[in-house]
Chains A and B, each alone.
Chain A
Amino acid sequence: MSTATTTHSAVSRRERPPLLVAGPVAWARANLFGSFWSSLVTLGLTYFLIKFAVGFIDWALIKSVWTVPMDPATGKLNPEACRAAKGEGACWAVIWDKYRFILFGRYPFDEQWRGAIVIVLFLGLFVVSAMRRFWRRELVLIWIVTLTAIGVLQWGGVFGMPYVGQDEWGGLPITLILSTFGLAFAFPIAILVALGRRATTLPAVKLLCVVYVELIRGVPLISLLFMASVMFPLFMPVGLNPDKLLRAQIAIILFAAAYLAEVVRGGLQALSRGQYEAADALGLTYWQKMGLIILPQALRLVIPPLVNTFIGFFKDTSLVLIIGIFDLLTSGKVAVADPIWQAFSTEVYIMLGLIYFCFCFSMARYSQGLEREFAKSGGR
């Protein structure tokens, strides 16, 4: 569009181009009414889009109920106004009443500022990791420090913060913890497995890695989570029973490592043989060769697919709902189980969808941008 307007102003003094060749009318003729069928599609879609937009705005903004009064007798909110608008207008009062619970779950109400800081720390960590100027070895240090700080904030028990046990954690911090810690621990395992799968001189190790990756990738995550929740206690020595959250985290790490290993393997395969041979010719040992020559190049190549895989894990952590861990989705589902708000789940699910969408969409955009940049510069 901008090029069209600049040409327009440049030639305006002499002779304007005919209206049907350049400008918005021509654009519409080419892109919206190019042929009979195209015009039909445009008109039909416009009709449905306007109808849908009007209906949605009417439901979400005009006929919606934003707050409901407190019932003085019971001290609870009175959702009568929402029930009256049911079917015609949205009841955003449920979000207003429950947003703290949805975001932080059963975390003690007065300590929820800690959860808020944890969310901010995670966001900061993501932003810093996304910036190419921080792609150095120090980034590992930043991750270790931030994840430690997050653990301290969540558990408390030091610096005057009361201790909060894992069974009280909940909401968005749990989703972020499960996905980020999952990635942080799965990544080193994934690198080892990817290297093992390509180690032709170690056939037994190679076989183990292949079996591990294919086994995990062949079964749904739910079966692994079930395994973590019902089988794991049987694996431990009699009397020792690890926490439920930790068990789910281990399952997610094992799951993530198999998928990440395949991504890393793709990067290892993309490097030319010459890199391996040059490292061998320099007389480097296996770990020097991998750590100094191969992995820095291979990992850089696979950052876009790694981000996509991470988006997948971020969404997949919601599966812990099925084994009863209080992540973002679970707390949303529990919030609408409240008898007052039972009929208004749509509103809460829309809000949850928006939160997930914001995270995933920004990561996807980032990965696409990176891919374009790599394509231009040849991955360097």
Chain B
Amino acid sequence: MSSTSTDPRLSGLRAAPKKRLTLSWSDPRLRAILWQVVIVGAIAGGIWYLVSNTAANLEQRRIATGFAFMGRTAGIPIGEHLISYDPAINTYGRAFLVGVLNTLMVSAIGVFLVTLLGTFVGIASLSKNFLLSRLCRAYVEGMRDIPLLLHLLFWYALILTLPTAREAMMVVRGVFVSNSGVRVPLLIWDPAHGWAVLALAAGAAATWYARRRATAIQYATGVRPRVWPVAVAALVVLPLAVWFAMGAPFALEMPTKGRFRFEGGGSLSPEFIALMIGLVLYHSAYAGEIVRSGIQSVPSGQWEAGGALGLKRGTMMRQIVLPQALRVIIPPMTSTYLGVAKNSSLAVAIGYPDLVAIVNTMLNQTGQAIEGIALIMVVYLGISLSISLFMNWYNARMALVER
């Protein structure tokens, strides 16, 4: 190093001398290491203390450890299951899976509806119509200042005061509302429906491709070819043609009133309905507020520029303002989605069989609290992590590309 330098005094300045760790209290690095050893040691000690206590307690109370119970027959009756489940033959493992699927379903539907209603409330609360905007603000304040659990109890109690199944109200033909939930007609499945859905998916792909191509042509020539004829043909005509070609089968299984309960048709339980109403009302208020402040964060010059180009208000919102607002909206919206997923666990209070409710029954039956709670935490951490990762990816896609 010093061989290339002419002045030996400068060589020391080029590269700071590598400091050796001195065994002195005045060395900040030594202090840092000591502090970390002390803190980590204290926490490790605390954990070791708790673990040893737990081991002693488990031994004294003769509680088994490990996940062997997952293979035993569950015997937990579960009202709603997406996969076939019979408490007499199926295991705890399958009951757990039923719970996970129920939680995932509730979270997914909840996130979808919250986004829909929240976007509507957010945009409507900026409406020029005084009544509409005030009503939306009042909705936001009213809904989010009441605990979610109270929402759930209230809606559940309200549903239970509806008429009994015997005197169920018929809203539309075939749709019955009663205190045992909502009964709807079900489509009797036919292979032709499957093909029609497949055709619809193909049509969606074709539409997507047509839009991409149209944008490319627009960038190249300045003229945007029409997309909607392609969209109509691919999304409406093609599936219908497939359906008609296969004989256009259509039959509904209508729910019919029996003596005490309904026969046939599909059903939504009161627990599920109350959970959905509560979750969506509560979280859409937060989502609406996020959307509103996101839109307001877009400078008014953007609106004016759009107006100068002669765009309609709706077009300006869709093409100019919302894409820019999304960058502000996405991060807080992610935490709202996480909140929906986590708060779906309150279902246990009104008896909807979500993950927490089922695992809670499991740990009451087996006494294996640690394993049960670990299962709940792992599943929710997984859900939270996947939502975060997805939204981070989406956020990166939406982020401003600086030149």
A residues near B (Cβ < 8 Å) are 30-32, 34, 38, 41-42, 45-46, 49, 87, 201-205, 208, 215, 217-223, 226-227, 230-231, 233-238, 311, 315-316, 318-319, 321-322, 329, 333, 336, 343, 345-346, 349-350, 352-353, 356-357, 360-361, 364
State whether A220 touches B342 (Cβ < 8 A): yes
State whether A346 touches B28 (Cβ < 8 A): no
CA distance A235 to B57 in the complex (A): 8
State whether A41 touches B132 (Cβ < 8 A): yes
CA distance A191 to B130 in the complex (A): 43
State whether A316 touches B370 (Cβ < 8 A): no
State whether B128 touches A234 (Cβ < 8 A): no
- Interface of chain B residues 56 through 112 with chain A (CB within 8 A): 56-58, 60
B190 at the interface (CB under 8 A from A): no
A335–chain B nearest beta-carbon distance, Å: 12
Could you pull out 20 A-B pairs where Cβ atoms are within 8 angstroms? A34-B129, A49-B131, A202-B35, A205-B35, A218-B381, A221-B342, A222-B346, A223-B356, A223-B373, A226-B373, A226-B376, A230-B369, A234-B54, A236-B57, A318-B147, A319-B346, A329-B149, A345-B154, A346-B161, A360-B145
The residue in chain B whose Cβ has the minimal distance to the Cβ of A196 is B39
Residues of B within 8 A of A333 (CB): 153
B236 at the interface (CB under 8 A from A): no
CA distance A215 to B382 in the complex (A): 11
Residues of B within 8 A of A205 (CB): 35-36, 39-40
CA distance A329 to B146 in the complex (A): 11
Given known A-B contacts A45-B131, A218-B385, A208 and B40 have beta carbons under 8 A apart? yes
CA distance A33 to B377 in the complex (A): 53
State whether A233 touches B57 (Cβ < 8 A): yes
CA distance A267 to B145 in the complex (A): 25
Given known A-B contacts A238-B53, A356-B145, A219 and B131 have beta carbons under 8 A apart? no
A223–chain B nearest beta-carbon distance, Å: 5
Interface centre among B28, B130, B141, B158 (most CB of A within 10 A): B130
B50 at the interface (CB under 8 A from A): yes
State whether B349 touches A46 (Cβ < 8 A): no
Given A203-B36, A234-B54, 4 other A-B contacts at CB below 8 A?
A42-B129, A222-B356, A223-B356, A360-B145
B387–chain A nearest beta-carbon distance, Å: 10
A341–chain B nearest beta-carbon distance, Å: 12
B129–chain A nearest beta-carbon distance, Å: 5
Q: Which 3 A-B pairs have the closest CB atoms?
A: A360-B145, A31-B130, A315-B147
B344–chain A nearest beta-carbon distance, Å: 8
CA distance A233 to B370 in the complex (A): 11
Partner of B141, one of A353, A356, A364: A364
Given known A-B contacts A322-B349, A361-B141, A32 and B129 have beta carbons under 8 A apart? yes
Residues of B within 8 A of A45 (CB): 131-132, 135
